[in-house]
């Protein structure tokens, strides 16, 4: 009888252990994850309070955001630069030894602060020439993404394998918001001076 009782106790302990592993452990892991999430939110809140209470910290954060925005703007051409950028992309393809079959800009797709300007491209050339073209485009100062690459119709021409490659080259144009334009106009607008009875008044 004692042996049977001991065996029964062992079985019960094993059942409890298994149930704890499959039921309690996931619940504990979820609780731990929630606790970490709460800690992170609390830290973020304290950081925001500190920034709001200290004008110097706020100004430093604001200046950091402004610099980051300027860096991103420098990589996005404005409207007047787009034709030159497209010409540059076409020239890079020819310099890489590719023969252009298609180079067709598509309608721009406006977003909140920028527009996507996609260009359908189809070229003929060797694998190395295509790879060289993509590498040159990737090294441009402006952001140009190459996507939807399809290589087909490989043909031998002498000692070189020539393929027809289709792709979509997408560049991005910065869009100035009305508020930003108004601020820029205020800075650029010269102050007028009027004379009133020997006094100079700024408008």
Instruction: Give the pLDDT confidence of 128-155 residue by residue, as tens digits.
Output: 889 999 998 888 877 888 889 998 878 8
Residue pair 163/101 in contact (Cβ under 8 Å)? The answer is no
140 belongs to a structural domain: yes
39 belongs to a structural domain: no
Q: Give residue 89's domain range.
A: 79-177
159 belongs to a structural domain: yes
Q: How many domains does the chain have?
A: 1
CA distance linking residue 112 with residue 7, whole number of Å:
70
Q: Is 113 helix (H, G, I), strand (E, B) or coil?
A: coil
State the pLDDT at residue 184.
42
Angle, helices 127-138 vs 82-95, to 10°: value is: 150
Residue-level pLDDT, tens digit, the chain, 203 residues: 555 556 666 766 666 666 556 555 566 666 677 777 878 887 777 777 766 666 666 666 666 666 665 655 555 555 666 788 888 888 999 998 999 998 888 888 887 777 888 889 999 998 888 999 999 888 887 788 888 999 887 888 777 788 899 999 988 877 765 554 454 445 445 444 445 555 544 44
37 belongs to a structural domain: no
Spatial CB neighbours of 196, under 8 Å, sequence gap ≥ 6: none
10 belongs to a structural domain: no
- Note the pTM of the prediction, 2 decimals: 0.50
125 belongs to a structural domain: yes
Cβ neighbour number for residue 102 with a 10 Å cutoff: 10
Residue pair 163/149 in contact (Cβ under 8 Å)? The answer is no
* CATH code (residue 98): 3.30.70.60
């Amino acid at each position: 009888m004692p042996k049977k009782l001991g065996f029964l106790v062992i079985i019960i302990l094993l059942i409890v252990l298994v149930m704890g592993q499959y039921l309690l452990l996931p619940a504990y892991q979820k609780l731990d994850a929630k606790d970490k999430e709460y800690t992170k939110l609390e830290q973020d809140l304290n950081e925001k309070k500190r920034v709001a209470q200290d004008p110097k910290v706020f100004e430093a954060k604001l200046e950091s955001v402004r610099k980051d925005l300027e860096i991103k703007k420098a990589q996005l051409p404005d409207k007047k630069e787009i034709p030159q950028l497209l010409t540059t992309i076409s020239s890079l393809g020819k310099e890489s030894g590719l023969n252009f079959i298609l180079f067709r800009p598509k309608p721009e797709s406006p977003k909140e602060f920028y527009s996507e300007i996609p260009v359908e491209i189809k070229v003929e050339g060797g694998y190395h020439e295509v790879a060289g073209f993509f590498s040159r485009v990737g090294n441009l100062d402006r952001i140009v993404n190459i996507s939807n690459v399809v290589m087909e119709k490989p043909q031998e021409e002498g000692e070189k394998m020539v393929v027809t490659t289709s792709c979509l080259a997408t560049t991005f144009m910065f869009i100035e918001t009305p508020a930003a334009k108004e601020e820029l106009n205020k800075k650029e607008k010269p102050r007028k001076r009027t004379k009133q009875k020997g006094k100079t008044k700024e408008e």
